[in-house]
Structures are given as C-alpha cells and as structure tokens.
Amino acid sequence: MLLRSKDKHEIASSEITPKDTYRAFQTTRRSLLAGMGAVAATAALPRRAHALSPLKVVPSAYTVPDRATTPEAKAQSYNNFYEYGEDKSDPAKNAGKLHLRPWTVKVEGLVKKPLTLNIDDILAYRPIEQRIYRFRCVEAWSMVIPWDGYPLGELIKFIDPLPSAKFVQFISLEDSHVMELPDGISWPYAEGLRMDEAMNPLTLLTFGSYGETLANQQGAPIRVIVPWKYGFKSAKSIVRIKFVDKMPRTTWNDMASDEYGFYSNVNPSVDHPRWSQAHERLLNTNSFLPKTVPTLMFNGYGDQVAQMYAGMDLRRNY
Amino acid sequence: MPSRAVPYLKAVVHLLCLVPLLYLLNLYRNGSLAAQADPVNFITHFTGNWALWLLLADLAITPVRRLHASLAWLVRFRRMVGLYAFFYATLHLLTYVLLFSGYDIPTAVAGLRAGHLLEPWTQLKLVWPTMLDDLKKRRFIQVGLFAWTILLALAVTSPLRVLRAMGGKSWQRLHRMIYVAGAAACIHFWWLVKAGVRTPWKDTAVLAVLLLARVVYLVVKRVRKRGAPVAVQQAV
C-alpha cells in the first residue's frame, strides 16, 4: 500500500540544489569548519526530505509460503540502526534527516579499476526482483519481509574484482550531521562477507521493500540482505564496497567477538552468550501474544548455502 | 506536613505508582500494544524500567528526608514505593516466564476453558527446561532473579507485625539489602545490553548518587559526634 500525497515532504525539482552547487557548498563548508572549528553550521545543510516512492519490481520464486508477511509498519518501526540511536524505535524517529541524493558508492581495494558508482546507475543496472525472505535478528526475533533488489553477484561481476580478492567489505555512511553516532561504537559501521557468500544468488543488493524504496531507517538507499545470516550482517546505507584478501574488520565482531562471529550464520545450536538461539519470536502478526517458533539452521536456506561451509566447524566459526 | 494530610497524599502516590500499569493496560485495550513491532520486548523493558525507577525513587526518600527536619514525614512513603518496585519487578519476571520463554498462553487458556485445570501447569513444565537452562547459563538472569528475591524477602517482611516480631535491629539489617537489590538491578541492566550500549548509565549514576549520599551522611554524622566534645572543651 502506498500512501503518498503532495505535502511538505515533496520538493519541486526546481528547488533541488544542483549537484555542483551542493558539492561546492560542501567543500567550502568543510574548509570553513576546519579553519574555525565552527558549531551550529549544520542548520545550513541543504536537505532533501524523502518519501517512499514505488519501485518497479518483478515477482520471484523466493517466498516464505508457510509464514505470513510482517506488516510493513512493523518492519519500518523496529530497526537496529545504531547510527540513529540504540533503541529499536530510534531509527524511525531520527533517520528522516538522511539525504539520499546525491549518493555514490565507492568501489575500491582489489579491483582492476576503482570506481565511483551513482546510486541511480546501480539501481537501473538490473531488473528489481521482489524476494520474500525470512529475516532473523541475532536478538532472537524474526520477521518475514519482501525485499526488492537484485543479486549482489551481478554487480560484483560488473565490477570485476581481481582473483586475489577473497572477501568483500561494506562500509556504511558515517555522517554526524544527520546521524546520532552514539559513543561506544567505532564508526563507520563495517560488515563483510567471504567472496563466495557475496556471490551466492541469495545475497541481495537491496533498494526497497514491499515494492517501495527502502525507508531511511531500513538502510536506504542501498543495502545488502544476507538471509541465512543474522540481520546485523546485512549492512545498511552503503557508501563503500572494498575487495580485500583477508577477513575484514566487522563492527560487532570488533565490539564483542565472543558474541558476534564473522560468519554469524543463523544456527539454532550455537547460543548467544546471553540467550539461546534455538527459538525466535516471529513478529508477523498483529497480536500482542508472542509467536515463538524454532529457529531453522541457516534460517531455512541450508539447501542453497550449506555447501559453502562443508567441513567447517560451525561451532567454532560462529 | 501535618500528619492528617498523609493519608490523602498516600492515595495520590498510589495512583501515581499505578499510572505506568494503567498506561500499559490502556495500550493493550486500544490495540497499540499489538501494533508495536515486538510487544513482548516492549512489555519486558517497560516493566523492568519501572521496577528500577521505583526502586531508585524509594532509595531517594531517605537522603531527601535528611536534607531538612521538616521532611521527616517522607519516611511514611518508603514502604509503599518499595512495594510498588517489587510489584513491577514481579510483572517483569512474569513477562519473562509467560511471554518470553515460549510459554503457550493460547493452549493454556484453551485448556482451562475446556475444563483441564492443570493445562497451564502442563504448559509451564514444557518451557521449564528452557528457563532453567537460561538461569544456569546467563549471569544477567541470575543477578536479576537475585534482585527480585531480595525484593520478595523485603516485601514479605514489610508489615508492621513482622517488624515487631523480628525486632527492629534485625529487621533493619535485612532491609539494608535494598542497597544490594539496587546494585543487582543495575548490574542486571548492564549485563543484558550489548557491548557499547550506554543506556544503563543514567540509572547507575542515580544509584551511585543515592548510595554516596548515605556514605556522606554517615561520615558527617561521625565527624560531628567526634568533633562535638572537642568543641565543648574549647568553649570551656
């Protein structure tokens, strides 16, 4: 369902700051800030308010027939996006400040040619599929969400990384003008995947959900969705993609490596130190009573991903 | 404060302490609790927060009362606020047992309706191993349960009759455990949040100030006691 009206959020194209002006403004502003350590300059930041807009999506074979889809309002009001605050209701309150255009994604590291890609070019590169995935948070709750995007592998094939690239690192936006960036976590947020995981057809480069562009608090305008891993592996608001030969730094693993492994595959038999991962609260109803269901190995995607971990001790490589 | 006003004020404090519960019930009634993305998580945090806040409020009564002799009447609200802290802590514990653990409420209720009076118990036995496992493995649950157990002991011994039966000294010794409960509640909070999350700071700071106020009071009292004879000597 799309609720859209001509209201204060909509800005006439004539009012949009031209990119060059904006860039020039940014540059001057930065040098100004550097020079005088100014405060309160944020008020002058040009902002583009954002309303969800429809995406042209094609249906896919990826559905979750045995589970109802989570109501959209729930998926967009309960988000772990620590840049906007620690409470799961904070991102929906605070992420409105994020401006989504201009937005570029830098591609760097072990690639033939470093690139800076424009979000609209990435978006238009392949048809947008709608895939309904189980989404399992490490905090033992889960949702069922239709994500809109195309396989990350398609973009990686286009980027053409060097054979020496063994891992991909995703860096999220870090911008104190539009984000809270609470103390205690070293920003920017970074996540990563092994190359074969990134190339797995399930790994979705995601621009939207429920047939609309992503809400800011969901990690607009571009994120990944890795459905067989805990939610925090699915980096949001990506600004850099880096190809590397060693296992890259990832934020939660940095913070507490005993709680969040690099792999973080959904695994009911490996407890989080503070709670069991054997069950999850399925948040897909409009009832206040909880629906607790057993957690599935690889979040139910074992057929598509288990072979990547053949021979690995998943208890140690949690 | 004339003593005659205290009963009226008590009614007001009762109402104030019940406001969070009424608020929660109203959220349930008007459907906005169900519209919450994760109602169980919300109820858990809501009841846990209010248990802690009321415990802190309770611990604030004595230091505030000591500020001035005219505030002595405040002590008459200490038991009541403490009992409300225990009340919300109990709701918090029940949330864990009935909503968090996977306890099957619909089946239990359906069983009751069909006349199987033991069905709720049967359901509890089903989730019991999970809860026991949690308790064995997770220190934040252990310390939380410890805090609740202290509050339970204080609640049970709170009637005047029990105080008289116990004798003031040993009663007071037991009731000093409220400091331990406050500390345990804060530790419970710290141990359950993710690394890097600073949310429990404010509550911890308030607890630290309230405990420190007592230390300062004791030190000042002792110094005055020791100082008094000296002053008298000098005056002589």
Q: How far apart are CA B107 and CA B127, in angstroms?
A: 13
> How far away is chain B from the Cα of A290, in angstroms, using its nearest Cα?
6
Instruction: Give the residue from B179, B197, B227, B203 showing the smallest Cα distance to B52.
Output: B203
Inter-chain CB proximity A88 and B37 less than 8 Å: yes
Q: With respect to residue A121, please indicate whether it lies within any of the assigned structural domains.
A: yes
Q: In A, which residues are within 8 Å of B133 by CB distance?
A: 276
Inter-chain CB proximity A75 and B40 less than 8 Å: no
Choose the weakest-confidence range: A48-52, A118-122, B10-14, B101-105. A48-52
Inter-chain CB proximity A183 and B33 less than 8 Å: no
pLDDT of residue B234: 52
Helices (H), B73-176: 78-94, 105-113, 119-137, 139-156, 160-166, 168-175
Enclosing domain of residue A158: 53-309
pLDDT at A142 over 90: yes
pLDDT tens, position by position, B54-97 = 999 999 999 999 888 888 889 889 999 999 999 999 999 999 99
pLDDT of residue A286: 87
Mean pLDDT, residues A307-316 taken together: 94
Residue A167's identity, in one-letter code, is F
Q: With respect to residue A251, please indicate whether it lies within any of the assigned structural domains.
A: yes
Q: With respect to residue A161, please indicate whether it lies within any of the assigned structural domains.
A: yes
- What are the structure tokens assigned to A273, written together? 């130190």
Mean pLDDT, residues A242-264 taken together: 95
pLDDT at A307 over 90: yes
| ipTM of this predicted structure | 0.78
Instruction: Give the residue from A93, A189, A87, A204 showing the smallest Cα distance to A145.
Output: A204
pLDDT of residue B230: 54
How many domains does one find in chain A? 1
pLDDT tens, position by position, A153-163 = 999 999 999 99
pLDDT of residue A32: 33
> How far away is chain A from the Cα of B198, in angstroms, using its nearest Cα?
7
pLDDT of residue A27: 41
Q: How far apart are CA A83 and CA A207, in angstroms?
A: 19
Which CATH number covers residue A101? Answer: 3.90.420.10
pLDDT of residue B69: 87
Q: How far apart are CA B154 and CA A3, in angstroms?
A: 54
pLDDT of residue A52: 83
Q: In A, which residues are within 8 Å of B198 by CB distance?
A: 86, 182-184
A95 contacts A217 by C-beta, under 8 angstroms: yes
Query: Average pLDDT over chain B, rounded to whole?
Result: 91
Q: With respect to residue A245, please indicate whether it lies within any of the assigned structural domains.
A: yes
Partner residue facing B133 (CB), from A73, A276, A281: A276
Residue whose entry in the numeric block shows the structure tokens 């100014």: A38
Partner residue facing B196 (CB), from A184, A271, A287: A184
> How far away is chain B from the Cα of A112, in angstroms, using its nearest Cα?
38
What is the chain B residue with the closest CA to A186?
Answer: B196
Inter-chain CB proximity B40 and A281 less than 8 Å: yes
Q: With respect to residue A38, please indicate whether it lies within any of the assigned structural domains.
A: no
pLDDT tens, position by position, B202-216 = 999 999 999 999 999
Partner residue facing A292 (CB), from B33, B38, B102: B102
> How far away is chain A from the Cα of B140, in angstroms, using its nearest Cα?
8
pLDDT tens, position by position, B139-177 = 999 999 999 999 999 999 999 999 999 998 999 999 999
Q: With respect to residue A10, please indicate whether it lies within any of the assigned structural domains.
A: no
Mutate which: A143, A250, A281, A288, vs B, most B CBs within 10 A = A288
Please tell me the pTM assigned to this model. 0.81
The pLDDT confidence band at residue A51, using thresholds 50, 70 and 90, is low
pLDDT of residue A42: 37
The pLDDT confidence band at residue B2, using thresholds 50, 70 and 90, is low
Q: Label the pairing between strands A204-209 and A223-225.
A: antiparallel
Q: With respect to residue A298, please indicate whether it lies within any of the assigned structural domains.
A: yes
The pLDDT confidence band at residue A6, using thresholds 50, 70 and 90, is very low
Q: With respect to residue A210, please indicate whether it lies within any of the assigned structural domains.
A: yes
Residue A248's identity, in one-letter code, is P
> How far away is chain B from the Cα of A37, in angstroms, using its nearest Cα?
27
pLDDT tens, position by position, A260-270 = 999 999 999 99
Inter-chain CB proximity B41 and A141 less than 8 Å: yes
pLDDT of residue B190: 94
> How far away is chain B from the Cα of A63, in angstroms, using its nearest Cα?
21
Give the Å distances, CA to CA, from B174 to A312, B53, B59, B88.
54, 21, 15, 21
Percent of chain B scored above 90 by pLDDT? 75
Partner residue facing B197 (CB), from A184, A281, A292: A184
The pLDDT confidence band at residue A13, using thresholds 50, 70 and 90, is low
Inter-chain CB proximity A255 and B196 less than 8 Å: yes
